[in-house]
């Protein structure tokens, strides 16, 4: 969605498949991850740590997908991304998320049904926040 809304020449990189993309080619980098059991993916954390100095020279965007809202979402965001990068970011925030049972494995379904007590798919994608994020990231 962000790629479409921002427009222009944008490459999508899956850090699980390509953990060390060449950042030299880019003036702008947007990093995104999602929260599972309180934490962002380790591929996202590692990427931020390993490329910190280079990321500090980019036009940077940072986002999270998660189901928590308000202060809890903010806390998850602050734990997901280092302070230096959060301060550098042109756009940052939690863009919502969804529990989609069709995409969950057995263990995930078990956790969501029995611990979170959600029994069917629910979407909390925050389209307004995504629009605002995209607007801030549009190349000036």
Ligand X SMILES: Cc1cc2nc3c(=O)[nH]c(=O)nc-3n(C[C@H](O)[C@H](O)[C@H](O)COP(=O)(O)O)c2cc1C
Contacts to ligand X by CB under 6 A: 34-38, 65-68, 76, 97-99, 104, 108, 111-112
The minimum distance between CB 41 and ligand X, in angstroms, equals: 8
Instruction: Give me the least distance between CB of 25 and ligand X, in Å please.
Output: 25
Instruction: Give whichever of 15 and 104 is closer to ligand X, judged by the CB atom.
Output: 104
Least Å distance between CB 56 and ligand X? 26
Cβ(97)–Cβ(126) under 8 Å?
A: no
In the complex with ligand X, the residue whose CB is nearer, 22 or 71, is: 71
Q: Looking at beta carbons only, is 17 or 25 nearer to ligand X? A: 17
Q: Is the dihedral of CA 11, 81, 71, 89 positive or negative?
A: negative
C-alpha dihedral sign at 49, 51, 56, 62: negative
Nearest-angstrom CA–CA distance, 43 and 20: 10
For the bound state, the minimum distance from the C-beta of residue 103 to ligand X, rounded and expressed in Å, comes to 6
Looking at the Cβ atoms of 28 and 126, the one nearer to ligand X is 126
**What is each CA distance from 37 to 12, 15, 88, 93, 111, in whole angstroms?**
25, 19, 27, 18, 9
């Amino acid at each position: 969605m962000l790629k479409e809304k921002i427009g222009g020449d944008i490459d999508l990189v899956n850090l699980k498949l390509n953990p060390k993309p060449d950042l030299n080619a880019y003036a702008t980098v947007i990093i995104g991850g999602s929260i599972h059991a309180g934490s962002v993916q380790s591929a996202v954390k590692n990427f931020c740590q390993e490329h910190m100095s280079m990321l500090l020279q980019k036009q940077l965007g940072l986002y999270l997908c998660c189901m928590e809202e308000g202060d809890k979402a903010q806390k998850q965001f602050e734990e997901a991304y280092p302070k230096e990068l959060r301060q550098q970011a042109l756009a940052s925030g939690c863009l919502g998320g969804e529990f989609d049972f069709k995409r969950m494995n057995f263990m995930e379904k078990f956790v969501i049904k029995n611990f979170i007590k959600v029994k069917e798919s629910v979407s909390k994608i925050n389209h307004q926040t995504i629009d605002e994020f995209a607007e801030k990231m549009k190349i000036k």
